[in-house]
């Protein structure tokens, strides 16, 4: 059997540990308008799970979607969810690998060490007849004390320099159509295309049936896309959410020299003076 990522856990693993002290389960689902992640959580979730709101745990002073919150803001939200930095944190989303890796990345950037993603997500969990509930989760008092690692985040001006000087590889998690500019961006006011030098690594290509691909297939996918795993990588997407799927894949393969461009295309694509490439070349 092919080796799996050390950062994912199976439904069997989680079900055996439901109710264990020090285990925090987080529903990290997020969807474009038209599907309400919070309403779905309130209707049905894994017993003991709390909801992570990607639209709420943000930098409220920024006009960018999903902008990285400052450490104190993150501490406040994580503590209100009853989560400690020392907990074993298991994060899931509906389809399996869409928004859960973003929450996985955020908790790790803020200092948590034992953070995992549930393979297959809630849809697999429910389809297998595992326990679900609509009851409100009782949250015990907790204090999340962050240790923010700013080195894992790329701000806008540095991204300009990286593109200009070709200082790192850029892996774009958006769909192939959005990458080349033939598919419209879901957010208004953004140009189509990609950053010069970027390669297309659609987030969906790194999973199958909601599960992260085994390590050998992850390596094949990334290398086929043009990623040299011996060199630094910056991950990007539409608003910093699915970029974390590539980050999860890279970290699973032992690649440590990677960073996430938090503003992603929502920031790059709205500026009129940033270079944009359309088409396959």
SS3 71: helix
> Cα separation of 2 and 242, whole Å?
24
Q: In what order do the strands lie in the sheet with 233-236?
A: 153-154, 258-261, 233-236, 169-172, 198-200
Cα 141 to chain centroid, rounded:
26
Q: Parallel, antiparallel, or unpaired for β 115-118 and 88-92?
A: parallel
Reduced to 3 states (helix: H, G, I; strand: E, B; else coil), residue 100 is: helix
Is residue 99 part of the annotated active site? The answer reads no
How far is residue 277's CA from residue 281's CA, in Å, rounded to a whole number? 8
Alpha helix (H) residue ranges in the chain: 11-17, 37-43, 71-80, 100-109, 121-127, 156-165, 176-180, 215-224, 243-252, 264-268
Active-site position among 237, 248, 250, 260: 237
Residue 66, token pair as written in the block:
């999903």
3-class secondary structure per residue, 233-276 = EEEECCCCCCHHHHHHHHHHCCCCCEEEECCHHHHHCCCCCCCC
Distances (CA, A) of 216 to 164, 220, 252: 33, 6, 11
Instruction: Report the C-alpha gap between 256 and 148 in whole angstroms.
Output: 17
Residues in the chain: 281
> CA–CA separation, 23 vs 156, rounded Å?
36
Known catalytic residues? 237
């Amino acid at each position: 059997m092919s080796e799996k990522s050390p950062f994912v856990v199976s439904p069997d693993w989680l079900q055996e540990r439901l109710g264990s002290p020090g285990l925090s389960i987080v529903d990290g689902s997020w969807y474009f308008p038209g599907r309400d992640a919070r309403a779905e959580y309130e209707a049905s979730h894994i017993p003991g799970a709390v909801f992570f709101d990607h639209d709420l745990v943000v930098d409220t002073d920024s006009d960018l979607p999903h902008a990285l919150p400052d450490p104190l803001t993150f501490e406040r939200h994580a503590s209100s969810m009853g989560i400690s930095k020392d907990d074993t944190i298991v994060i899931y989303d509906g389809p399996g690998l869409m928004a859960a890796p973003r929450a996985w990345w955020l908790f790790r950037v803020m200092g948590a060490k034992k953070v995992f993603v549930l393979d297959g997500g809630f849809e697999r969990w429910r389809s297998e007849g595992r326990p679900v509930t609509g009851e409100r989760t009782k949250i015990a008092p907790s204090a999340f004390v962050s240790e923010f690692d700013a080195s894992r985040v790329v701000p806008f001006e540095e991204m300009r320099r990286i593109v200009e000087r070709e200082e790192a590889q850029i892996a774009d998690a958006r769909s192939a159509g959005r990458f080349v500019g033939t598919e419209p961006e879901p957010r208004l006011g953004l140009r189509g295309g990609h950053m010069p030098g970027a390669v297309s690594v659609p987030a969906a290509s790194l999973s199958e049936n909601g599960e992260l691909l085994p390590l050998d297939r992850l390596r094949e996918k990334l290398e086929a896309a043009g990623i040299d795993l011996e060199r630094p990588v910056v991950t990007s997407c539409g608003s910093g959410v699915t970029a974390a799927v590539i980050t999860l894949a890279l970290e699973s393969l032992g690649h440590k020299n990677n960073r996430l461009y938090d503003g992603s295309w929502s920031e790059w694509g709205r500026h009129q003076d940033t270079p944009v490439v359309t088409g396959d070349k």
